[in-house]
Amino acid sequence: MASFAFEEEQIKTKVHFGVWGKIIGYALRRWYLLAILAITMLLTSFHDASFVPLLNKAAIEAIRLSQGLPFDAVVIDVQFIFGIRFTVDFWGYGLTLLIGILLRSLCIFITFFATNYLEMSIYVDIRQDGFRRVQELSFSYFDKTSAGWLIARLQSDTSKIADMISWGIIRVVWLVFDLVLTLITMFTVSWQMALILLAASPLIMIIAPYFEMVLLKLSRIARNAFSGYVAWLAESIAGAKTIKTLAIETTVQAEADEIVTDIRNKNFKRTKFQALFHPSVVFVMSLTTAIVIFFGSMFMKTDTTITVATFALYIGFVRAIFNPLQEFAELFGDIVQTQSSVEKIVSLIDTKPQIVDRPDVIAKYGTLFHERKENYEPIKGDIEFKNVNFSYLKDIEIIHDMNLKIKAGQSIAIVGETGSGKSTTVNLLCRFYEPTSGQLLIDGVDYRERSVSWLRSNIGYVQQSPFIFSGTIRKNIAYGKLDATDEEIIHAAKLVDVHDFIMSLPNGYNTELQDGGSELSVGQKQLISFARAIVRDPVIMILDEATSSIDTETEVVIQKAIKDVLKGRTSIIIAHRLSTIVDSDRILVMSNGKIIEDGTHRELITAQGTYHHLYMNQFAELKVEEQIETYETQIAGIVD
Ligand SMILES: Nc1ncnc2c1ncn2[C@@H]1O[C@H](COP(=O)(O)OP(=O)(O)O)[C@@H](O)[C@H]1O
Ligand SMILES: [Mg+2]
């Protein structure tokens, strides 16, 4: 069983903050929101860091000076920053505070609204870019990437990043404004006191980030231990029967004890540290306050301008300086936690599709999303493989020096054992992959001279396992040609002999299909995907083992359909059951990435080579199948 040595190495891996540039770019697209936010946050910080503290300081001083005077006679002398100075009475003071708080509330409202808007916009933009990239990427990308991975990127990672970046920007800007305005206010009131406070604060500057970093690391260790446990648990429960057959329950139980203890210890370590965080912070803050009071009072003796109110103000400043620093440490933790999501999303968005058109080809034929169909040449359907070599992976060649000419309108069948390169050959023809060397010519022109869309719009390709989209049958067929009329759709369905079946459904062509068409048989799905391929009236038609998992009766129907449908088209059929292809114009036999036989059924049978051998084997098999079928019918008759 897998060990549970959760790699602590992983925790130390270097983080590349460069990827954030791309994400910040998404925020900068909404520069006007950022501008609004800068203003509202500046006003809010100004209110909190300067306006209220200075008004309060003035009020406290005024109260001290005006003891015994009537209420109305109190004069509050406010010394503002940047040399601004004004006097108000008590009513004026109250009114000023009221207006201030109202403005602040308005700013907060706008800030939250704009930030949420920013978050949504970033979310939508990243997701759209990611999804667009998924559309552009070539087959090879999906060989390596699971659907689950992509969905996780486009869903949870994207929302995590949008949340992080929008609120992160707000927090940074806010915190910088707060700090700067606090410093300005501090130095305006008394630069000496400001210096004393700054001299006392390095402890704070060290303690908060230190705790945050260590906590982050401990949390990661604990989390990794836990996810390792979940994987271990799943494996041991899935393998419960095997564990019993091996009689290793004691060993497994001991392993479980060990893992659980490990998790507990790691969590304990984190919790201990977390519990230490708050008291330490309060301790350091009080210590700083004490230092400010101690040196401040010494200083007060020599400087009479330092009043009690000033003193109170500076004690408040200890917190005003501390909060942003703590916030910043927290923010840093959040950034590190979002790092892996950002790296993954950026890697997706930055992935270059392997199959791309050359710039001059794009100029003429347009892009995938903006086709210039007016420049598309009509296609005849001549195909030529010229010295084509191909490897999926470096150094492992799958197709070796293939030379093959197919005339327009010919029907070709490819047979050969599993893994011989049949699908690869048609994948190359569809330009899902490009030859590693050599050329593929369509109507005598290298297909890289024309766009991918030009080629694909002329090919009808039916895969072994047809994919049914959720939606109506009509829509499913129309995916083959988005602007297909009802007549065209019905014509296609009739050609492949599925029209009667569709009409037998209560809602006919408007029948809603769900969940990959689970309410249809494989054969029916097959026929619908045939209709989808045929509705675009492709010049080249490719069927890759399209009938291999279908029962014999349905196959007869499909065979009949295929024959009608393929008339006048260049067609390539990869067949498992040789009975499907006996009357093709040419049969190619592949083995190990090479065409080893090429001829008509009659020619190949006469040659007595591989094809003859394959055919005879299947023929024998067919006999057995037929025998079983007859036998089953007889049994059924008896039981009835
Ligand atoms: N996406 C892929 N990446 C790497 N190797 C592949 C890929 N697809 C197929 N192969 C390999 O290429 C060879 C030919 O496969 P394929 O053309 O699918 O054979 P066939 O269709 O004749 O059964 C096999 O050895 C297979 O393992
Ligand atoms: Mg195949």
What pLDDT is recorded for position 600? 93
334 and 360 in a common domain: no
Alpha helices in 137-200 (DSSP H): 139-144, 147-152, 158-189, 191-200
Calculate how far, in angstroms, residue 438's C-alpha sits from the geometric centre of ligand 1. 19
d(CA 488, CA 483): 10
Question: Are 238 and 276 in the same domain?
Answer: yes
Give me the CATH number covering residue 139. Answer: 1.20.1560.10
How many structural domains are present in the chain? 2
First to last CA, the chain: 52
Structure tokens at 297: 């009072």
Distances in whole angstroms, Cα of residue 482 to Cα of each of 401, 508, 535: 38, 19, 10
Q: What integer pLDDT is reported at residue 99 of this predicted model?
A: 95
In a domain, 500, yes or no: no
Residues 6+ apart with CB under 8 A from 426: 414, 461, 542, 544, 572, 574
Q: How many CA atoms lie within 13 A of 341 on its CB side?
A: 23
In a domain, 540, yes or no: no
Q: Is residue 189 included in any domain, yes or no?
A: yes
Half-sphere exposure of 353 (CA within 13 A, CB side): 20
Instruction: Measure the CA–CA gap between 505 and 417, rounded to whole angstroms.
Output: 39
- Any ligand 1 atom below 6 A from CB of 471: no
Beta bridge partners of 445: 442
User: Are 412 and 301 within one domain?
Assistant: no
CA atoms in the 13 A half-sphere facing the CB of 201: 20
How are beta strands 586-591 and 411-416 bridged, if at all? parallel
Q: Which residues lie across from 406 on neighbouring strands?
A: 383
Q: What is the CATH number of the domain that holds 594?
A: 3.40.50.300
Same domain, 345 and 370: no
Ligand 1 contact, 499 CB (< 6 A): no
Q: Which atom of ligand 1 is nearest to the CA of 422?
A: 22
Any atom of ligand 1 within 6 Å of the Cβ of 143: yes
Distance 548 CA to ligand 1 centre (A): 17
- Other Cβ atoms closer than 10 A to 182: 24
Is 520 contained in some domain?
Answer: no
Closest CA to 543 of 422, 630, 443, 454: 422
Q: Which of 179, 257, 147, 269 is nearest to 217 (CA)?
A: 269
**Long-range Cβ pairs for the range 405-408 (8 Å, 24+):** 406/382, 406/570, 406/572, 406/586, 407/382, 407/570, 408/380, 408/381, 408/382, 408/443, 408/539, 408/570
pLDDT at 233: 86
User: Do 346 and 359 sit in the same domain of this protein?
Assistant: no
- The CB of 504 under 6 Å from ligand 1? The reply is no
- The answer to whether residues 250 and 370 belong to one domain is no
Cβ–Cβ < 8 Å for 447, 357: no
The reply to whether 359 falls in a domain is yes
If asked whether residues 319 and 390 sit together in one domain, one would say no
What pLDDT is attached to residue 85?
81
Ligand 2 centre to CA of 595 (Å) is 15
Task: Provide DSSP, 217-248.
Answer: HHHHHHHHHHHHHHHHHHHHHHTHHHHHHHT-
Ligand 1 atom nearest to CA at 417: 22
C-alpha 400 to ligand 1 mean position (Å)? 13
Residue 420 CB–ligand 1 contact under 6 Å? yes
Q: Which residues contact residue 492 at a Cβ distance below 8 angstroms, ignoring those fewer than 6 apart?
A: 477, 480, 484, 531, 532, 534, 535
Q: Are 423 and 328 in contact (CB under 8 A)?
A: no
| Rounded mean pLDDT for each run of 10 residues along the chain, 640 residues in total | 38 64 92 95 93 88 79 77 80 90 96 95 94 89 82 88 92 90 88 84 79 83 82 85 90 92 91 86 85 83 79 83 80 81 88 90 90 90 95 92 94 93 94 94 94 92 85 92 91 88 92 83 85 90 79 70 82 85 91 94 91 84 62 53
Q: Is the dihedral of CA 383, 386, 387, 392 positive or negative?
A: negative
Distance between CA atoms of 309 and 4, rounded to whole angstroms? 60
Show which of 298, 326, 350 is a domain's final residue: 350
List the one residue out of 107, 109, 113 whose CA is nearest residue 33.
113
Which tokens is 519 given?
């309410």
Q: Which among 350, 369, 400 is the end of a domain?
A: 350
H-helix or E-strand containing 28?
Answer: helix 20-28
Domain extent for 393: 355-458+577-640
Enumerate the H helices of 351-485 as residue ranges: 359-365, 422-429, 452-456, 473-478
**What is the model's pLDDT at position 8?**
36
572 beta partners: 412, 542
Place of tokens 């045929």: 534
Which residue do the tokens 């984190």 mark?
A: 270
Q: Are residues 85 and 149 in the same domain?
A: yes
Question: Which tokens in the block code for residue 276?
Answer: 């230490």
299 lines ligand 1 (CB under 6 A): no
Q: Which two three-digit tokens encode residue 238?
A: 């899935």
Q: Which residue has the tokens 């005849």?
A: 380
Same domain, 314 and 385: no
- For position 4, what pLDDT does the model report? 39
Beta-bridge mates of residue 87: 77
Residue holding tokens 């020619």? 603
C-alpha–C-alpha distance, residues 276 and 268, integer Å: 12
Q: Indicate if 164 and 227 belong to the same structural domain.
A: yes
Answer whether 394 contacts ligand 1 (Cβ < 6 A).
Answer: no
Is residue 185 one of the residues assigned to a domain?
Answer: yes
Rg of the Cα trace of the chain? 38
Mark whether 310 and 360 lie in a shared domain.
no
In whole angstroms, give the CA distance from residue 570 to residue 573: 10
Q: Is 568 left (phi over 0), alpha (psi -120 to 50) or beta?
A: left
Domain end among 350, 370, 386 = 350
Residue 336 lies in a domain: yes
| pLDDT reported for residue 523 | 80
Ligand that comes closest to the CA of residue 398: 1
- The reply to whether 172 and 193 lie within a common domain is yes
Does residue 314 lie in a domain region?
A: yes
Q: What angle do CA 503, 506, 510 make, to 5 degrees?
A: 75
The residue nearest atom 27 of ligand 1, judged by CA position, is: 419
Alpha carbon distances (Å) from 40 to 27, 48, 52, 84, 171: 17, 12, 17, 22, 13
**Sign for the pseudo-dihedral over CA of 599, 601, 603, 604:** positive
Does 307 sit in the ligand 1 pocket, CB within 6 Å? no
Give the residue whose CA is nearest to atom 1 of ligand 1.
143
Q: For ligand 1, atom 17, name the residue with the nearest CA.
A: 421
